[in-house]
Amino acid sequence: MLIVDVILNLFRTLAGKVASVRGLKDDQGKDSTLPWDNTFGSQLSLTETMLLDLPAEILLAIAEQVAEKKDLKHLCEVSTYLYSIVIPILYERITVSPQDEDLLDNIDVSPLVRTCYTPRNLLSHTKNIEVASQFHTRTRVRCVHSDDWDWNSFDDGEGEHPSIDRLAANLMPLLEGCRVNSLRSFTWALGTCIPREIIGCSGYLPLKQKLIESIRLITDGACDYNLNSQSPTNLSDFTHLKKLSWSGLRSENDIETLQDTIKQVSHQLVELELNFINWSEVQAALFVDDDDSDTFFVRSILELPLQSTIRMFPALQVLSLSGLSFESAAEEMASAFDFSSLRSLKMRLCSGWEEFLLCGSRLNRPTRLKCLEIQPTLSNEVSAEGSISEFLRSFHGLLDPITRLESYSRIVGII
């Protein structure tokens, strides 16, 4: 066994010993993370005592391998020395969630925020924030705007929206407690509109956290307030963005935001995941003619001219597209998304994916693609396996492929 594994096991033993002796609760932000050297020191074995004498750099490297937050939390309580090393790791990534899926605006961040006014400010270590919820019972009409719907105030946009306001009020102290420009990633996985105070044109994140490199959004594109452009999102100020994932795009503002962001950072994006969910509903919401539907993504969002050979995403390694149509612009798509840099490619319910793959294979560029996943629409499910087989035969350098064809009722291994 490697020395790293030995030390890691000792770390876990220490964490387990703390948990068994004290019966600690596993809630972020509680005072139970304070070290208690005098009480616990007599419980340590000689080996465990020697472990605490290792240089901070070594202990830090090992602590970063501990996956369970509860173990990290218990390690913080072993000694002041270990606390100073582990606490930044424990609070580097914070996830907050509502307790009830039917009350998505009810998120309690007070235990974390209380520490902002003490020398123990836990948020000073935070680099990644995730606001997330389960998707079990509330799968339709999910946005909190629907909780206080008022038909009389919708058209003029002047009505009160206590739920979205309460959601913003609950979360803003958490964000404001972080150091300016300390965040590197932000995830919104509530499936609702995002309060403008957080990511609107004058929102906190665009103004105070400009160094964010990764953004993941799951929004309710079907919310009428979003479709009426009353919930604008601003991503263009994140000039360091390298990873973008967005599920639920539908409104004109969503599309304009995506267009501006891609124009700004396409050259440096490493991961791009876009899920339009249902292209026909996006088309209807944007009043896109049937004649333009198959080229809308390429012409209006990517803004690529006819027969373009521009490599728009030279650094892109992960591409995932869902609920999209590019049937009449597959050639331009293949040039924009360079197969020589892609490592993972996923396309779900996308019209035109067959031609996209074949055009990509004809560019005579070396491929390093390792993962390919396709979920065809019902209309092309029968011919899907043959199209993928032809695509794979056109590549001779595909290494360690994890290739699947995902149908509505089956998963078929291609190779």
Q: What average pLDDT does range 284-291 have in this prediction?
A: 87
pLDDT band at 26 (very low <50, low <70, confident <90, very high): very low
Q: Is 408's pLDDT higher than 50?
A: no
Q: What is the pLDDT of residue 4?
A: 52
Quick one: pLDDT band at residue 330, thresholds 50, 70, 90?
Answer: confident
With a cut of 90, say whether residue 274 has pLDDT above it: yes
Average pLDDT over residues 351-365: 83
Average per-residue pLDDT for the chain: 80
What's residue 270's pLDDT? 98
Query: What is the structure's pLDDT at 407?
Result: 46
With 80 as the cut, is the pLDDT of residue 11 above it?
Answer: no
Residue 346: is its pLDDT beyond 80?
Answer: yes
Q: Which residue has the higher pLDDT, 398 or 269?
A: 269
More confident residue, 17 or 49: 49
Whether pLDDT at 413 is above 50: no
Among 22-26, 163-167, 386-390, the range with the most confident prediction by mean pLDDT is: 163-167
Work out the pLDDT band at 383, boundaries 50, 70, 90: low
Give the pLDDT of residue 212.
Answer: 98
Higher pLDDT pick, 13 / 43: 13
pLDDT band at 31 (very low <50, low <70, confident <90, very high): very low
Q: Average the pLDDT over 71-79 and give the result.
A: 78
Higher-confidence residue of 302 and 69: namely 302
Percent of the chain with pLDDT strictly greater than 90: 35
- Averaged pLDDT, 51-56: 76
- Region 57-73 average pLDDT: 81
Domain edges within the chain: 1-90, 92-265, 276-415
Q: What is the pLDDT of residues 92-125, one digit of tens each?
A: 999 999 988 888 999 999 988 988 887 778 899 9
State the average pLDDT over residues 345-353. 91
- pLDDT of the residue at 43: 56
Q: What is the pLDDT of residue 39?
A: 47
Average pLDDT of span 392-406: 54
pTM greater than 0.85 (yes/no):
no
- In terms of Cβ atoms closer than 10 Å to its own Cβ (0-12, 13-18, 19+), residue 335 is buried
Query: Region 395-415: what's the mean pLDDT?
Result: 46
pLDDT of residue 415: 38
**More confident call, 265 vs 306:** 265
**Mean of pLDDT values over 15-29:** 49
Reported as a single tens digit per residue, the pLDDT across 168-188 is: 999 999 999 999 999 999 999
